[in-house]
Amino acid sequence: MRVATFTLIGSLKWAKLGFYDQQKHEYGEILLSEPQEIASCIGNISLKEGEPFVHAHAVLADENGNTKGGHLLGGAVFAAEIHLTELLGPDLVRKKDDVTGLSLWQP
Amino acid sequence: MRVATFTLIGSLKWAKLGFYDQQKHEYGEILLSEPQEIASCIGNISLKEGEPFVHAHAVLADENGNTKGGHLLGGAVFAAEIHLTELLGPDLVRKKDDVTGLSLWQP
Amino acid sequence: MRVATFTLIGSLKWAKLGFYDQQKHEYGEILLSEPQEIASCIGNISLKEGEPFVHAHAVLADENGNTKGGHLLGGAVFAAEIHLTELLGPDLVRKKDDVTGLSLWQP
């Protein structure tokens, strides 16, 4: 699979979220060491340096329903249900963008 | 409809969210008695004990934009817009999983 | 494009969220003047007064992962990735609904 989009719900044993600093062009990390519900997860798969690359954002909720959100950097799945839609057709390729410092899809 | 996936936005008059305890294998409940925006809702429909079963996670926001998230256990709709995609093909069936205590899709 | 549904992730330089007062039938505004991750955004396009109209809800996260959510009223995009599904077929038309005060899809 080279290009896809997905939504996902479930729960994680722990997670690490990221916040991209729009000035410094680097990610800050937010570690959530306790179990979390995946209240929302939206993402996609495209090509970066020739390999399939997953980009996902998530909103996670703890036992009191309190939420943290951001770029999903890592975590351990307890259970998850994904709806993955493969997109056939031309490849979607990421390339470093000088303005944002991010790897963005090429026009 | 037997198998489907959906996203939903709108608002609720009240809601009840759940957090699944990964050790005790039971849901804790979070009652939100005030009106909420459905900031995000992602879910699916599959078969459990032969009947269509809805599984949805949500992020809800109050009048100050403050959010709670988790497994959507209940609520009363004020207004809602759903994008429901029916998935034709083989049935997707939930069965009790001993490791997690959840009803998960069978391989 | 007249009818569509979408999910979107990315980040904003600032944003304005809304909360619809179910009694007063008016939006309260929540201004987020700092950069935000778009942890989740779900929306649709349909016709309102003959023109394509975007309706989106979002969960936004700040540098600490703290989230605010609601109806997306405005903002400035830093970077964004959208999965937009055009829905062919009959038009989907919004019309003022007296019960809720919202412009809802007609049956």
Chain C residues inside the 8 Å CB shell of B13: 22
Q: C107 pLDDT exceeds 90?
A: no
Above 90 in pLDDT, residue C78?
Answer: yes
pLDDT for the residue numbered B107: 82
Segment C76-96 mean pLDDT: 97
> Average pLDDT, stretch C1-15?
97
According to the model, what pLDDT value does residue A71 have?
98
Which of A13, A40, A62 shows the shortest C-beta gap to B40?
A40
pLDDT of residue A107: 82
Cβ of residue C105 closer than 8 Å to a chain B Cβ: yes
How many angstroms away from the CA of B47 is the closest CA of chain A?
14
Say how far apart CA C20 and CA B42 lie, in whole Å: 21
pLDDT class of B31 with cuts at 50, 70, 90: very high
**Inter-chain Cβ pairs, chain A and chain B, closer than 8 A:** 78
- Which residue in the set B22, B44, B58 is minimally distant from A11, CB to CB? B22
Average pLDDT, chain A: 97
Q: How far apart are CA A91 and CA A49, in angstroms?
A: 12
B42:A40 CB<8 A: yes
- Tens digit of pLDDT for each residue in C27-40? 999 999 999 999 99
CA C56 distance to own-chain centroid: 2
pLDDT at residue A32 greater than cutoff 90: yes
Per DSSP, the residues of C25-71 read TEEEEEEE-S-EEEEEEEEEEEEETTEEEEEEEEEEE-TT-BEEEEE
Q: What is the rounded average pLDDT of the residues B17-30?
A: 98
Output DSSP code: residue B99: T
Of C9, C11, C13, C12, give the one whose Cα is nearest residue C82.
C9
